[in-house]
Every structure is written in C-alpha cells, then in structure tokens.
Amino acid sequence: MRGVVKMEIKAFYRLTDANLNRAREGLRALEDLARFVLQDGALAERIRAARHNLQQTAANLSAVCLAARDVNQDPGASYPEDPHPSARGVAIANARRVQEAARVLEETARYLAPETVAQFKRLRFLSYELEQLFAARLAPEEKTSFLRKLRLYVIVGSAHTAGRPVVSVAQEAIRGGAQIIQLREKELPAKAFFETARALREVTAKAGVPLIINDRADIAAAVGADGVHLGQEDLPIAAARRILGEQAIIGVSTHSVAEALRAEKEGADYIGFGPVFPTRTKPEYAAQGLEALQKVLSQVRLPVVAIGGITPANLPAVIKTGVKRIAVVSAVASAPDVAASAALLLKMLEGSY
C-alpha cells in the first residue's frame, strides 16, 4: 500500500511539473507578443510579473518536480501541435494553455501544497483576461492579413444554386478554392435564413473558411459567422460593429468612388465594388465598368473586391485593372461543376493559368 501511495505522489509531482512548464511557456509567449507585436511595454511587464510570481509560488515544489520529471516516459511528448496561422491565434492558444495549466495546478496543489491554491487561481483568472485582451487587440491584424491574401470570394444563396442545396454548393466551392463564403438570401424568412446559415457555419468552420452573412448582422451574430456584408441601405457600419464586435469582418457594397471613400471613412474592412459588368443578380444597378474600378483602386486604401458579371472570359481584363480580389455568384454557384469553376478562377487570379 505504501508503494502505491509513493507512486501516486510521484505521478502528482510529474503532473505538476508538466503544468508548471506549460504555464511558464505560455506566459513567456504572451509576454513576447505584448513586447514585440503589440509593442506594449506595460502589458509585457504585467505578464513578466505574473511569470515571476508563478516561479516564486512554485519555488518549494520546483526541486521535487524536477526530480520526478521523466520526459522519455511521457506519452504527451509526441502529441501533435495545432498550427496557429496568425499572431492572434498564437496569443489565444497560449492564453488557453495557461488557463488549462493553472486549473490543473490548482487541483494538484490541494494535494501537494494547499497554500498555493489561491495563487494558481489568480493566475487562471488573469489568463482569461489576457485571452480577451489579445483577441481584441490583435483582431485588426488578423483581418488585415487575411483580406490582403484574399483572392476568390464566393456568394451562395438558394436563388443561384440551380436547385441544388446551398450548403452542398458551398462545400464544392470551398473544395475548388473559395477563400471566403457569403450567404445571401434576399427572400427567405428569418427562420429559414437562420437554419441555412447555421448549417453553413458548421461547414465553413470545419474547412477553416470565413463565413459572411449578407445584410443580417443579427443572424451573423446568432450563428457565430465571421462577419457581415452591408448594402447602402442596411445598418450603419458602427451599429453592425456593436453587434458583432471588433473582430468581425465588415464589408460594404459600393457603386461609386464617393460611396467607396465613405465606407472606408466609416470603418469598413473591405469594399465590394460593382457591378463591373451587367449582371442578373443585381439588375437594378448599371454596370460601372473597368475604368470606374480603376478609379476606386487608385483612391481607396481598403481591400477592394470587384463584383458583378465576372466570368473566366472577362477576368483577364478585370485583372489588368490591378484588382486582386473578385466576388462571384453565378460563375461558381450556378456552374455545372462548382469546384472546377472555382478552381479555374482562382488559378487565373493567382497567375498560374
């Protein structure tokens, strides 16, 4: 019996050692992000102080934990690491690493060092705060990085999928290379719109592709979409931002240089400009043409997404204006082979066709 207890105590020390390491490493990553990415000395110092406080809290445990360490027998050493493609992703992952480690340390401390439980609990709540802080402050950087790389934006809706399920068409578009999906449903009742959006959110989240909801910030918020696309008569950008938060991607449809500049001034993350060519999707708007697109590109600093009547046949002329991003509806969603159509457009945009 005594041997069993001794083995259990050693296991608890190994458990504590692993989580002390995780917490220290996570705090150090956050400290460096605050220092070098946010360039916030005060925040970096606050995290550094938390890291040093952790070392002091665990001072009486460190020696015995180190002696109990057995890396070669740790099955966790070979666990795969998930990729974090942005500074925001790295920050959130490390804040959560600290949270999880602090929670485990609280529990093991009740057994090994009850006097340290309160300190580990304070660290856990600090890490909750840090996750929220980094997520908010790095949201613009993540959005900017994504939109800078964006090339193919596909819009789906029940009116433009040739009778096929919207979610299936979106899946095929993503398979072909669509980098963002927008759900546009002008006629569906709110409940049906919500149900489609919720199903589409599951698909896009699994694929790692952002989902934008057309017009309806409320539905975007309800399904956890990545943002909303607004028309000229929809909610003001500031109101949509209050509903969805700073991390949301908010785009605006524009049809002139003046509208594009106003959207930029009011805080849009990107603008859609068009229709470049005549389109059955929005017959009420006259085609703006390539010259107007060039004028917008020369005067607006935001990412510009060209939209309206764009097909593989006229895309070379669109690309010559200097635009890097296009949005399409019929050219992909109504195509007989959705994935192949998306893949062709993406190849042309990337210059590999």
The pairing of beta strand 249-254 with beta strand 180-183: unpaired
Q: Are 238 and 267 in contact (CB under 8 A)?
A: yes
Q: Which of 89, 114, 138 is the last residue of a domain?
A: 138
Mean pLDDT of 308-331: 98
Cα-Cα end-to-end distance for the chain: 72
Q: Which of 116, 138, 160 is the last residue of a domain?
A: 138
* CA dihedral sign, ordered 142, 147, 148, 151: positive
Q: Token pair 């209050």 is at which residue?
A: 242
Quick one: pLDDT at residue 5?
42
Q: Are residues 53 and 123 in the same domain?
A: yes
Compute the distance between CA of residue 220 and CA of residue 212 in angstroms, rounded to an integer: 7
Compute the distance between CA of residue 196 and CA of residue 214 in angstroms, rounded to an integer: 13
Q: Which residues are 304's β-sheet partners?
A: 271
* Domain span including residue 83: 2-138
Contacts of 311 (CB under 8 A, 6+ apart): 331
Quick one: pLDDT at residue 3?
42
Residue 282 has pLDDT above 90, yes or no: no
295 is known as an active-site residue: no
* CA dihedral sign, ordered 175, 179, 181, 182: negative
Contacts of 293 (CB under 8 A, 6+ apart): 273, 274, 276, 304, 306, 318, 321, 323
- Angle between helices 41-57 and 2-32 in degrees, nearest 10: 170
Token output for 312: 């593989």
Q: Which of 255, 297, 298 is nearest to 274 (CA)?
A: 255
Q: Are 9 and 110 in contact (CB under 8 A)?
A: no
Q: Are residues 327 and 204 in the same domain?
A: yes
Contacts of 333 (CB under 8 A, 6+ apart): 154, 155, 156, 157, 160, 161, 162, 169, 173
Mean pLDDT of 265-286: 91
Q: Are residues 154 and 122 in the same domain?
A: no
Residue 63 has pLDDT above 70, yes or no: no
Q: Which residues are annotated as a binding site for Mg(2+)?
A: 215, 234
Q: Which residues are annotated as a binding site?
A: 182-186, 214-215, 234, 253, 279-282, 309, 329-330
> Residue 130's CB: how many other CB atoms inside 10 A?
26
Average pLDDT of the chain is: 91
Burial 10-20, CB ≥16 within 10 A → b, else e: eebbbbbbbbb
Q: Are residues 342 and 199 in the same domain?
A: yes
Q: Are residues 162 and 107 in the same domain?
A: no
Domain-embedded: residue 81: yes
Q: Which of 138, 172, 190 is the last residue of a domain?
A: 138
Catalytic residue among 22, 97, 184, 241, which?
184
Catalytic residue among 121, 282, 324, 347, which?
282
Q: Are residues 194 and 272 in the same domain?
A: yes
The alpha carbon of 305 is separated from its chain's Cα centroid by a whole number of angstroms, namely 19
Residue 252 has pLDDT above 60, yes or no: yes
Cα→Cα distances 224→171, 190, 236, Å: 18, 16, 20
148 is known as an active-site residue: no
Q: Are residues 121 and 155 in the same domain?
A: no
Compute the distance between CA of residue 337 and CA of residue 151 in angstroms, rounded to an integer: 20
Structural domain count of the chain? 2
Domain-embedded: residue 144: no
DSSP 8-state assignment for residue 229: E
The CATH number that applies at residue 221 is 3.20.20.70
184 is known as an active-site residue: yes
Residue 143 has pLDDT above 70, yes or no: yes
Catalytic residue among 143, 201, 241, 253, which?
253
Mean pLDDT of 190-197: 97
Residue 65 has pLDDT above 80, yes or no: no
- Angle between helices 166-176 and 190-207 in degrees, nearest 10: 30
Mean pLDDT of 301-314: 97
pLDDT confidence bin for 72, thresholds 50/70/90 = low
Quick one: pLDDT at residue 6?
54
